[in-house]
């Protein structure tokens, strides 16, 4: 069987010598209004879905909006009264402090444990890496309500596994012990739940980033006598700095707005001692029917998050300027 090539382009020039290959000219990137037109549909959809709700929430925060106004469908403008009431409430400031402490503890644990698991994935063999990766993906893909229900059962007063384990280890006082009896213990359990569900994201993405680093770098460092800690701190950390920056940024946002886990485990209790800002806004609106105050809390929550993240943005821009 003979393969024939028809209409082949000429590859010779002059006296039978091959000419230089032609370089494909890159098309210039679109300028002017073209990039804005391309992203316009996405921006329009985002404004339609989120913009309207945000504007309505801000409007309600300037109104007296309770059961009476909801039933009679009346509008009573109160100006900044809702904000004054919220800012004078000690529970609001307790929730602010609680939210930031809760967020900081979670982000530190998530990034620390996630980094260690990511390095472990990079060091394991193929079979063990596959097994650990599947386990991480299973934990990451589990719906929040399902994982919260499982944790609620683990720490159940009567049938919980935690009480059974503590009794089996010989500890006294764990016969029907209430793990949700205080706000601190409730938030500790929520922290375990959030860390357990968030570590896979950090670990898998870190492992993916590590696979792009040439192995010659590690070999050269080991030949120079560098320890594992020195390799990580002096080589991996600077190379993976963009990953750590953006991942920490995402984790801060995700933990700051955590609601389902806290509310589903103990509804912000006992006595609203485990309330964070999102839970407090929900409790004020849905439980107390103070929708105006709830809207004010949510607006203040957004403002606080933007102010806190502005310092982080400045750090990111500073790092980019140093690298450029």
Residues 233-239 have a mean pLDDT of: 85
Looking up tokens 């393969």 gives 3
Average pLDDT over residues 240-256: 88
Q: How confident is the model at residue 199 (pLDDT cuts 50, 70, 90)?
A: very high
225 in the Ramachandran plot: left (φ > 0), alpha (ψ -120 to 50) or beta? left
The domain made up of 100-276 has a fold known as: MetI-like fold (1.10.3720)
* Least confident piece of the model among 22-31, 252-261, 301-310: 22-31
Which whole number is the average pLDDT over 239-252?
Answer: 87
CA distance 308 to 306: 5
Helix axes 291-323, 241-256, angle to 10 degrees: 180
More confident residue, 70 or 164: 164
**Tokens found for residue 179:** 């793990």
Tens digit of pLDDT for each residue in 145-187?
899 999 999 999 888 899 999 999 988 888 888 999 888 999 9
Would you place residue 2 in the very low, low, confident or very high pLDDT band (cuts 50, 70, 90)? very low
pLDDT level of residue 22 (50, 70, 90 thresholds): low
Q: Is the pLDDT of residue 7 over 50?
A: no
Domain ranges of the chain: 58-88+290-324, 100-276
Is residue 324 predicted with pLDDT exceeding 80?
no
pLDDT at 25: 60
Mean pLDDT value across the chain: 85
Question: Quick one: pLDDT at residue 230?
Answer: 85
Kindly state the average pLDDT of the residues 41-64: 89
35 vs 262, residue with greater confidence: 262
> Would you say 249 and 312 are in contact if contact means Cβ atoms under 8 Å apart?
yes
Between CA 285 and CA 240, with CA 142 as vertex, the angle to 5 degrees is 100
Question: What confidence category does residue 11 fall into, taking pLDDT thresholds of 50, 70 and 90?
Answer: very low
Express each pLDDT in 89-148 by its tens digit: 999 999 999 999 999 999 999 999 999 999 999 988 889 999 999 999 999 889 998 999
| pLDDT-derived band at 8, boundaries 50, 70, 90 | very low
Q: Kindly state the average pLDDT of the residues 191-196.
A: 95
Task: Read off the tokens for 125.
Answer: 């063999």
Confidence of residue 20 (pLDDT cuts 50, 70, 90): low
Instruction: Determine the Cα–Cα distance for residues 164 and 148; give it in Å rounded to an integer.
Output: 19
Stronger pLDDT, 72 or 257, i.e. the higher one: 257
pLDDT of 29 strictly over 80: no
User: From CA 182, how far away is CA 270, in angstroms rounded?
Assistant: 6
Mean pLDDT within 208-230 = 84
Per-residue pLDDT, 307: 86
Burial 164-196 (b: 16+ CB within 10 A, else e): eebeeeeeeebeebebbebbebbbebbbebbbb
SS (HEC) of the chain: CCCCCCCCCCCEECCCEECCCCCCCCCCCCCCCHHHHHHHHHHHHHHHHHHHHHHHHHHHCCECCCHHHHHHCCCCECCCHHHHHHHHCHHHHHHHHHHHHHHHHHHHHHHHHHHHHHHHHHHCCHHHHHHHHHHHHHHHHCCHHHHHHHHHHHCCCCCCHHHHHHHHCCCCCCCCCCCCCCHHHHHHHHHHHHHHHHHHHHHHHHHHHHCCCCHHHHHHHHHCCCCHHHHHHHHHHHHCHHHHHHHHHHHHHHHHCCCHHHHHHHCCCCCCCCCCHHHHHHHHHHHCCCHHHHHHHHHHHHHHHHHHHHHHHHHHHHHHHHHC
Mean pLDDT of 65-82: 84
Q: Does 9 score more than 50 pLDDT? A: no
Confidence of residue 24 (pLDDT cuts 50, 70, 90): low
Tokens of 234: 């002096």
């Amino acid at each position: 069987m003979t393969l024939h090539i028809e209409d082949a382009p000429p590859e010779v020039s002059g006296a039978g010598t091959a000419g230089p290959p032609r370089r494909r000219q890159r098309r210039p990137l679109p300028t002017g209004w073209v990039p804005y037109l391309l992203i316009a549909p996405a921006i329009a959809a985002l404004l339609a879905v989120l913009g309207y709700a945000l504007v309505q929430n801000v409007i309600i925060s300037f109104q007296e909006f309770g059961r009476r106004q909801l039933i009679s469908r009346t509008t009573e403008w109160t100006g900044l009264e809702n904000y004054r009431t919220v800012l004078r409430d000690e529970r609001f400031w307790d929730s602010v402090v609680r939210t930031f402490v809760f967020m900081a503890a979670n982000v530190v644990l998530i990034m620390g444990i996630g980094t260690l698991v990511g390095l472990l994935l990079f060091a394991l063999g193929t079979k063990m890496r596959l097994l650990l990766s599947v386990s991480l993906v299973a934990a990451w893909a589990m719906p929040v309500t399902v994982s919260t229900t499982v944790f609620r059962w683990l720490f159940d007063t009567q049938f919980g596994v935690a009480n059974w384990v503590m009794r089996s280890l010989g500890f006294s006082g764990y016969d029907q012990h209430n793990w949700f009896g205080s706000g601190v213990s409730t938030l500790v359990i929520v922290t375990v739940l959030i860390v357990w569900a968030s570590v896979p994201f950090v670990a898998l993405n870190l492992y993916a980033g590590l696979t792009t680093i040439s192995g010659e770098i590690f070999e050269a460092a080991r030949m120079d006598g560098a320890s594992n800690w020195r390799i990580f701190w002096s080589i991996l950390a600077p190379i993976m700095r963009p990953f750590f920056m953006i991942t920490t940024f995402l984790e801060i946002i995700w933990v700051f707005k955590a609601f389902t886990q806290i509310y589903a485990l103990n509804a912000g209790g006992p006595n609203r001692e485990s309330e964070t800002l999102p839970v407090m806004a929900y409790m004020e609106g849905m439980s107390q029917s103070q929708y105006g105050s709830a809207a004010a809390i949510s607006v203040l929550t957004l403002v606080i998050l933007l102010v806190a993240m502005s310092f982080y943005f400045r750090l990111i821009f500073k790092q980019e300027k140093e690298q450029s």
